[in-house]
Amino acid sequence: MRRLAKTSASVMLALPLAGCDGSQSALDAHGASAIELKQLIIVIVAVCSVVWMLVMVALIGALWRNRPALRPPASPSAERRMTIATIAAVVATTIIISGFTVMSFIATRALAVAGNHDLTIRVRGLQWWWSVEYLGTSAERFETANEIHIPVGRNVRLKLEGVDVIHSFWVPSLAGKQDLVPGRNNELTIRAERVGIYRGQCAEYCGMQHAHMALLVVADSQDDFDKWAAAQRQAANPPAEEELAAGRQTFLAKPCAACHTIRGTDASGKTGPDLTHVGSRRTIAAGLFETTRGSLAAWIADPQTIKPGNNMPVVPLTPDELRSVSAYMASLK
């Protein structure tokens, strides 16, 4: 019996913790605004739960008292009492929703005045990946994809642009979502309060592969972030081994270079993600796989089976070419 109680207690504990692996949950808040939103959510849900329970008490009371033995005769005074009770309930409803409205207004204002920004990043949504461009002077600028690094404890302004259709930027552990609408300039400020990796996902239906349009936000200490940014600004490493050189040769000779950029080479295509440091990113294909030589090879060999409908065509390669290209990709740290 005690063991059962212990097991069920641990299950009860595990349930709310299930969402707390730092991946993607509004209940696992580590960003300034997500923490504020979580508090608001808890208060509103708690009040609403109480309201629902009161209604249920009234309903059960109504069903219960109706047993013939308990039923008193109807009377004008009963009618009057019910009128008073109904009016009281309506007044209570009005007070509660007024309170919610004021709370929402205050929370909205608090989110809007998040202070000055330490960093500005342009995030563009495309079918079905995220282009990420760190803005600043021309020496500071660089581009990456599907993975955003930010310094912890700093306000980061995201300039959100929809390129083709509407997408929505949502990293629930950090902040509420904001749409990327073609023809409009939307912004969102995020601030991570804790070092960690936060998963996000497109929240506005954007076509065939809407389900596979994820991204990671990596919150680093300022030092780590500066190191990472400095590395990202560099051009791609020249290949050190023969196989990697062959891989680069294949990449430049095949249609790959028409869509992708690798800074430091002739590849300067703009329709696909910037691959200059693709090997340093944790995932490929917008969060679909962990980046390994094997997953890169699988993706290059058959992107249409892995992520049907995406814009990457199948490029016929010999086994050797596939091996060397994927090795080269993995080496682009």
Partner 1 sequence: MTADAAPDTRDADVERTHLTCTLAETWKTPAGFWGALSTVDHKIIGRRYIFTAFVFLALGGVLAALMRIQLAQPEARLLGPDRYNQIFTMHGANMMFLFAVPVMEAMAVYLVPLMVGTRNIAFPRLNAFSYWIYLAGGALLWIAFALDMGPDVGWFAYVPLSGPQYGAGKRADIWAQMITFTELSALAVAVELVVTIFKQRAPGMTLDRIPVFVWAMLVTSFLVIMAMPAIMVASTSLILDRLVGTHLFNPAEGGDVLLWQHLFWFFGHPEVYIIFLPAAGMVSTMIEPFARRPAFGYLALVMALIATGILSFGLWVHHMFVAGLPRLGESFFTASSMTIAIPAGIQVFCWLATLWDGTLVFKTPLLFIIGFIVTFVIGGLTGVMVASVPFDTQVHDTYFVVAHFHYVLVGGAVFPLLGAIHYWFPKLTGRMMSETLGQWSFWLIFIGFNATFFPMHILGLQGMPRRIYTYQPDLAWHGMNLFVSLSAAVLIAGFLLFFVNALRSARYGEPASDNPWDAPTLEWATASPPPSYNFAMIPVVSGAQPLWNVEGALPVAEGLRTDRRELVVTSLAAAEPQTREASPRHSIWPLWAALATTVMLIWSIFSPWAVVWGSIPIAVTLIGWFWPKGTPEDES
> Interface residues for partner 1 in 219-278 (CB under 8 A)?
none
Q: Which of 5, 11, 70, 71 binds partner 1 (CB under 8 A)?
A: 71
Q: Which of 186, 249, 265, 311 binds partner 1 (CB under 8 A)?
A: 186
CA 307 to CA 317: how far, in whole Å?
Answer: 19
Q: Which of 9, 46, 80, 182 binds partner 1 (CB under 8 A)?
A: 182
Which CB sits closer to partner 1, 43 or 315? 43
Q: Confirm or reject binding of residue 8 to partner 1 (CB under 8 A).
A: no
Q: Confirm or reject binding of residue 7 to partner 1 (CB under 8 A).
A: no
- Minimum separation from the CB atom of position 125 to partner 1 (A): 12
Which CB sits closer to partner 1, 93 or 222? 93
Q: Confirm or reject binding of residue 309 to partner 1 (CB under 8 A).
A: yes
Q: Confirm or reject binding of residue 306 to partner 1 (CB under 8 A).
A: no
CA distances from 302 to 122, 291, 297, 309, 313 (A): 30, 16, 9, 12, 8
CA 198 to CA 211: how far, in whole Å?
Answer: 17
Q: Confirm or reject binding of residue 55 to partner 1 (CB under 8 A).
A: yes
The contact mask relative to partner 1 for 80-119 (x = CB under 8 A, - = no) is: --xx-xx--xx--xx--xx-xx-xxx-xxx-xx-------
- Minimum separation from the CB atom of position 42 to partner 1 (A): 10
Which CB sits closer to partner 1, 140 or 205? 205
Q: Which of 56, 252, 253, 314 binds partner 1 (CB under 8 A)?
A: 56
Q: Confirm or reject binding of residue 25 to partner 1 (CB under 8 A).
A: yes
CA 204 to CA 128: how far, in whole Å?
Answer: 12
Q: Confirm or reject binding of residue 19 to partner 1 (CB under 8 A).
A: yes
Q: Rounded to 5 degrees, what angle do the CA atoms 198, 111, 25 make?
A: 25
Q: Confirm or reject binding of residue 46 to partner 1 (CB under 8 A).
A: no
